[in-house]
């Protein structure tokens, strides 16, 4: 991009801080930690910051990049991420480019030309490029404002995405002895943090470890009964919104995607088994709001910056709490409400167990098992989900009630079910541990089917004792007894249920057992709580979205780069009628106002004349 910088570089940048925040980014306040990081950089200090996804890391260096003279060099590991960042920055009028292997010779020359003529605010490069001698030589010939390392955990062998080429970044501080170096990541344990600090040799850096809490995400764990039906109803209540459904296997991804497509939902599959082209096409369709939902294995998500993902559903058990946090973390980057649902059935854990048991490496097997157990504990306890998640990352959640998880919203209650458990256990004893769940449920509910009669099970003392509850209840109880290790299932196609020592203690009245019950009425509340907190005109919002999509297509950028969901929500709530009012909407800066303001204002005009009540 060429032309004059939007704002002249300011030496004593302090005064321009809020001005730039407003004019360039269109924001009226900083998110937590952003201001202190920006200030540290402006004071030429090194920075190391761990901030969760959606925390607003890009602004922490893009804002100083606009205030300091010279080009800010950002080292970033993924080409897809770079492209997104460049699109986003340019939409705000920032002169941003990237240099990586995806460029052809001509484009590369153009970018290098812009760099050499000192007309770039931001340059994104891959770590490979950064190590090349001639690139470094070039950097010496131009004015550089600062260096940024994105996804800084890639430099640590202790981290989960170690990239050997990141090690070459350890001489950054010697290349830029007088410039601030800022490293950002969304994941770093204390050990990884120490490793990063040491490898990069940052000079008494300003360190930020932000809370991992994502207050705009609602966590909701549901008992998985009929997976497909539940998915359909979840999608119905989220119609038109962007979401991801995670499944474990490629086959289940294909099946679920086909099932949902047949029901008329706009979904596409994504997994490593699809050809490169198809995968790329599907991902692109999702990013550009051409389909609403991606049904995917965990291969999907890395490098996806889409900020308007409104829900994430785990239709199978995640591999670990860390995975769960990362995968749900892709929702609600724009700060607007988003809903994370985990469909949990005890049966799923035996499936995962089956794969884990087949692992050859003993340490890996043990690690996988421990991870699975933590996930099961997360899903089955009646402790606040947020608290449990944060605990896992060593963070103490200071509130009693988070008000945005199924537990805290009181969607569940814990009930004593010792008596019912005794009925079922006694049916198992009386049939000598030779039957599976379906038959046992038939006995306690008093089914009069042929098998029951042929075996004479209608004469058992436990026959029909549990009539007052339906079959669904008893299936749930069996899952609960399996989860709490009261009973166990045999291997094979028709697994039989048998007792574990705890069952004997329950039968002898030596031990109680409790079960979590879902209160149907309040379930709906959690769903609607995923919505944005502020009320807005939904009819107007839908039209704004159509216009956003149209503009995005014309310009070949993703819709959320034009305006985020949050910005459109605010427009549909404030209903701005002139340029000044438009500028007060969060996310509308001067450049976006100039580029898109007229179109959006005239749409709002038309809407208001058709709907005289709007905006009053
Ligand atoms: P991260 O890289 O930490 O995941 P991003 O930099 O992508 O986060 O920012 C996430 C979203 O938050 C983007 O849509 C961005 O425009 C928005 N955002 C960042 N800072 C602010 C702010 N101060 N006020 C409002 N929205 C912000
Ligand atoms: Zn909670």
Backbone φ and ψ for 48, nearest 5 degrees, come out as: -130, 120
Please check whether residue 343 is in contact with residue 314, taking contact to mean a CB–CB distance below 8 angstroms.
yes
How high is the mean pLDDT of the chain? 89
Beta strands per DSSP E along 141-188: 144-149, 181-185
Please check whether residue 142 is in contact with residue 115, taking contact to mean a CB–CB distance below 8 angstroms.
yes
- For the segment 354-362, the average pLDDT, to the nearest whole number, is 82
Ligand 1 pocket, 592 CB below 6 A?
no
Query: Quick one: pLDDT at residue 1?
Result: 39
Query: Quick one: pLDDT at residue 152?
Result: 92
Could you give the C-alpha distances from 6 to 71, 399, 503, in angstroms and in order?
A: 14, 44, 72
Ligand 1 pocket, 31 CB below 6 A?
yes
Sign of CA dihedral 282, 285, 288, 290: negative
Residue nearest to atom 25 of ligand 1 (CA): 27
Residue 528: is its pLDDT beyond 80?
no
CA distance linking residue 518 with residue 178, whole number of Å: 60
Residue nearest to atom 5 of ligand 1 (CA): 56
Bin 333: left if φ > 0, else alpha if -120 < ψ < 50, else beta. Answer: alpha
Residue 33: is its pLDDT beyond 70?
yes
Give the strand order in the sheet containing 181-185: 96-99, 122-125, 71-75, 144-149, 181-185, 47-50, 206-209
Q: What fold, for 13-209?
A: Rossmann fold (3.40.50)
Please check whether residue 271 is in contact with residue 297, taking contact to mean a CB–CB distance below 8 angstroms.
yes
Residue 37: is its pLDDT beyond 90?
yes
Ligand 1 pocket, 59 CB below 6 A?
yes
Q: What proportion of the chain, given as a percentage, has pLDDT over 70?
A: 94
Residue 301: is its pLDDT beyond 70?
yes
pLDDT tens string 80-125:
889 889 999 999 999 999 998 889 999 999 999 999 999 999 999 9
Q: Which of 510, 351, 490, 349 is nearest to 433 (CA)?
A: 490
Ligand 1 pocket, 586 CB below 6 A?
yes
**Through-space distance between the first and last CA atoms of the chain, rounded to whole angstroms:** 41
What's the CATH superfamily of 538-610? HRDC domain (1.10.150.80)
Query: Quick one: pLDDT at residue 8?
Result: 45
The neighbour count for residue 602, using CB atoms within 10 Å, is 11
Q: Which of 335, 485, 365 is nearest to 421 (CA)?
A: 485
The DSSP H or E segment spanning 47 is strand 47-50
Query: Quick one: pLDDT at residue 351?
Result: 75
* Nearest atom, ligand 1, residue 305 CA: 7
Please check whether residue 88 is in contact with residue 81, taking contact to mean a CB–CB distance below 8 angstroms.
no
Q: Which of 566, 564, 533, 546 is nearest to 606 (CA)?
A: 546
List the domain boundaries for the chain: 13-209, 217-411, 413-518, 538-610
Q: Looking at domain 413-518, which CATH architecture does it have?
A: Orthogonal Bundle (1.10)
Whether 413-518 shares its CATH topology with 538-610 is answered: no
The neighbour count for residue 399, using CB atoms within 10 Å, is 11
Query: Quick one: pLDDT at residue 14?
Result: 56
More confident residue, 491 or 203: 203
Residue 166: is its pLDDT beyond 50?
yes
More confident residue, 479 or 135: 135
Q: Looking at domain 217-411, which CATH architecture does it have?
A: 3-Layer(aba) Sandwich (3.40)
The 3-state secondary structure of 314-330 reads ECCCCCCHHHHHHHHCC
Residue 587: is its pLDDT beyond 50?
yes
Ligand 1 pocket, 564 CB below 6 A?
yes
Which segment of 130-139, 265-274, 340-349 scores lowest on mean pLDDT? Answer: 340-349
pLDDT tens string 426-439:
999 999 999 999 99
* Nearest atom, ligand 1, residue 21 CA: 23
More confident residue, 377 or 146: 146
Q: Quick one: tokens of 292?
A: 């609403």
pLDDT tens string 139-165:
999 999 999 999 999 998 876 778 888
Query: Quick one: pLDDT at residue 204?
Result: 94
Query: Quick one: pLDDT at residue 520?
Result: 54
pLDDT band for position 170 (cuts 50, 70, 90): confident
- For the segment 504-520, the average pLDDT, to the nearest whole number, is 83
Q: Which ligand is closest to the CA of 220, given by its number? A: 2
- For the segment 417-429, the average pLDDT, to the nearest whole number, is 94
Residue 218: is its pLDDT beyond 80?
yes
pLDDT band for position 393 (cuts 50, 70, 90): confident
pLDDT band for position 2 (cuts 50, 70, 90): very low
Residue nearest to atom 14 of ligand 1 (CA): 334
pTM listed for this prediction: 0.79
């Amino acid at each position: 991009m060429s032309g004059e910088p939007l704002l002249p570089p300011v030496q004593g940048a302090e005064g321009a801080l809020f001005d730039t925040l407003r004019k360039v980014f269109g924001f009226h306040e900083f998110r937590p930690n952003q201001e202190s990081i920006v200030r540290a950089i402006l004071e030429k200090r090194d920075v190391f910051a761990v901030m969760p996804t959606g925390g607003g890391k890009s602004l922490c260096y893009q804002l100083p990049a606009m205030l300091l003279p010279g080009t800010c060099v950002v080292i970033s590991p993924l080409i897809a991420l770079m492209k997104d960042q460049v699109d986003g920055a340019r939409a705000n009028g920032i002169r941003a480019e990237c240099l990586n292997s995806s460029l052809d010779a001509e484009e590369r020359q153009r970018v290098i030309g812009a760099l050499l003529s000192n007309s770039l605010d931001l340059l994104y490069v891959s770590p490979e490029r950064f190590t090349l001698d001639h690139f470094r030589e070039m950097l010496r010939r131009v004015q550089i404002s600062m260096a940024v390392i994105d996804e800084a955990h890639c430099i640590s062998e202790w981290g989960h995405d170690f990239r050997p080429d990141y090690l070459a970044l350890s001489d950054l501080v010697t290349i830029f002895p007088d410039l601030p170096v800022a490293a950002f990541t969304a994941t770093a344990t204390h050990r990884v943090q120490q490793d990063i600090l040491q490898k990069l040799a940052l000079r008494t850096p300003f360190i930020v470890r932000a809370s991992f809490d994502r207050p705009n995400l609602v966590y909701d764990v549901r008992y998985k009964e009929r997976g497909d039906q539940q998915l359909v109803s979840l999608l119905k209540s989220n119609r038109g919104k962007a979401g991801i459904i995670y499944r474990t296997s490629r086959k289940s991804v294909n099946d679920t995607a086909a099932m949902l497509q047949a029901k008329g939902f706009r979904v596409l599959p994504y997994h490593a088994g699809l050809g490169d082209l198809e995968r790329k096409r599907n991902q692109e369709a999702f990013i550009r709001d051409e389909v609403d939902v991606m049904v995917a294995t965990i291969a999907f998500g890395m490098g996806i910056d889409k900020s308007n993902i409104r829900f994430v559903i785990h239709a199978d058990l995640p591999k670990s709490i860390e995975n769960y946090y990362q995968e749900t973390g892709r929702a609600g980057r724009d700060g607007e409400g988003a809903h994370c649902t985990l469909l949990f059935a005890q049966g799923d854990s035996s499936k995962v167990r089956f794969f884990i048991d087949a692992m050859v490496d003993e340490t890996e097997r043990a690690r996988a098992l421990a991870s699975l157990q933590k996930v099961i504990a997360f899903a089955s306890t009646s402790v606040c989900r947020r608290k449990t998640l944060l605990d896992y990352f060593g963070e103490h959640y200071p509130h009693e009630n988070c008000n945005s998880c199924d537990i805290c919203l009181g969607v569940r209650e814990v009930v004593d079910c010792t008596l019912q458990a005794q009925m079922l256990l006694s049916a198992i004893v009386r049939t000598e541990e030779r039957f599976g769940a379906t038959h046992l449920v038939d006995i306690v509910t008093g089914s009069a089917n042929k098998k029951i009669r042929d075996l004479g099970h209608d004469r058992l003392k436990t026959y029909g004792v549990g009539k007052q509850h339906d079959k669904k209840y008893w299936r749930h109880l069996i899952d609960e007894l399996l989860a709490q290790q009261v009973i166990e299932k045999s291997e094979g196609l028709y697994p039989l249920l048998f007792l574990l020592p705890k069952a004997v203690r329950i039968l002898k009245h030596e031990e109680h057992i409790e079960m979590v019950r879902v209160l149907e009425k309040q379930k709906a509340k959690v769903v609607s709580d995923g919505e944005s907190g502020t009320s807005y005109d939904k009819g107007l919002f839908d039209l704004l979205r159509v216009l956003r999509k149209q503009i995005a297509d014309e310009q070949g950028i993703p819709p959320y780069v034009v305006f985020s969901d949050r910005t459109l929500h605010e427009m549909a709530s404030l209903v701005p009628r002139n340029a000044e009012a438009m500028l007060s909407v969060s996310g509308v800066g001067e450049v976006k106002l100039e580029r898109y303001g007229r179109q959006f204002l005239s749409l709002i005009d038309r809407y208001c004349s058709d709907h005289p009540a709007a905006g009053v």
